[in-house]
Chain A
Amino acid sequence: MTASNAGTEIDAELRPRVVDTMTAILTRLLRRTEPVTETMRLADELDLSSSLSLELLLELEDRLEIQIDVETMNPDELQTVGELATFIAGHSRPG
């Protein structure tokens, strides 16, 4: 559990949808032939830049029809795909 996710109520129904959608988007954005998994590290392993991470968030908002609370999102504390998915499941509202 990261500091950004500590004490947050996670939407248990939303989280797996976030993970599935996010891994699919990342695979396409990063032009990967291997699948992206929940445990992969966004910056160190996937080399995801700040610019691409914003593109990822925009597409997630579109596809899942949510609005993510980016003001409280500290990318330094969200290292893996799973941690980011947990944050989004706890910090978004219907878009």
Chain B
Amino acid sequence: MTALDAVAVYLPPHRAPIESFAEPLGLTDIQVRLFRRFHGLSEIGIDPDRTLSDLLHAAASALPGLRGQEHRIRYVLHGRALPVVAPYPHNPLHDVCRALGLEHAVAFTVTQQSCASGLLAIELAGRLLAGDPPGDTGDSDDSALALVLTGEKAFTQDARLLPGTSLFGEGAAACLVSATGPRDRLLAYACNQRGEFDSEVGETPERFQREYRPSLAEVIHRALAEAGVTLDDIHLVLPHNVNIVTWQRLCLLLKFPVERVVLDNVPVNGHVFCADAFINYRTARERGLLREGERYLVAAVGVGDGATFSAMVFEH
């Protein structure tokens, strides 16, 4: 069963108040006040001195269990929201692999589900590892691993602002994934791709906004059913950090206490693309919110060339 053997996070030391983004992003006073009052945004992490490769490398370097185990890494996946992040022939993912001594691994990027691509990358990593033949020794200490990286630079207008919804922050997360690890085992993954909500040529924003919460609730319930549990069995939710009000209202729809959703990072980091779930995982661990055997839910929504609603159930 797919498992997260280790998770590490890098967040920039520098944060800027959301008001400082008003002029460069063309936000009105009302839009900034809405972000602060209802969306719960206060500061956004930005790291002008670090490239995308630097961000990913900083997260991966902090992973306990990677150093000395490089030979076991068979796959490196970058779960990414933005389809293009560097001009050809530059490849930030390959740069990171070289810097980490992982040139031998199969490295590729998953982008087609926007901010839900990070969860897809975990699922794919698990499936790839499960489909591989066992290692030469057959020893579980020598079994193959995958490294899943998430995190991006907020480097264009589209990469910095989700109009009326959120501001993107910079940062990165790294997950060491195994096919059979004992920690943070993936019990279920559910995903619903909705091409009709393409942001360029799809349905109206009003209809998307109206269907957002029911669609996310549906995929959450599907993941729970697949895991053989109910919401009552879920100890904690690790959300995508889109904003506070969306989660307050989703919790009313789900009848789940919003106090058990880890929303700590929304005000101080913004929406860190595909890395939110893993940043929130670290926060949950640091705050001692997860105990052995407890189940938790991870949810994400990707918006771009169509919308993707995703949910995962884990056992800690």
Contacts and interface: CB of A to CB of B under 8 A. Distances in A.
Interface string B65-99: 00000000000000000000000000000000000
Contacts of B258: 71
Interface residues of B, number: 18
B206 A71 contact: no
Contact of A74 (B37, B205, B253): B253
A90 B34 CA distance: 22
A51 B164 contact: yes
B299 to A, nearest CB: 18
A54 interface: yes
B235 interface: no
Interface stretch (B55-63, B107-115, B151-159, B244-252): B244-252
A47 to B, nearest CB: 6
A74 B33 contact: no
Interface in B16-37: 30, 33-34, 37
Given A50-B209, A58-B33, A74-B249, 17 more contacts: A49-B205, A49-B210, A50-B210, A51-B205, A54-B245, A55-B30, A55-B34, A58-B30, A58-B34, A58-B38, A70-B38, A70-B245, A70-B248, A72-B252, A73-B252, A76-B252, A76-B253
Interface of A: 43, 47, 49-51, 54-55, 57-58, 61, 70-76
Interface of B: 30, 33-34, 37-38, 164-165, 205-206, 209-210, 212, 245, 248-249, 252-253, 258
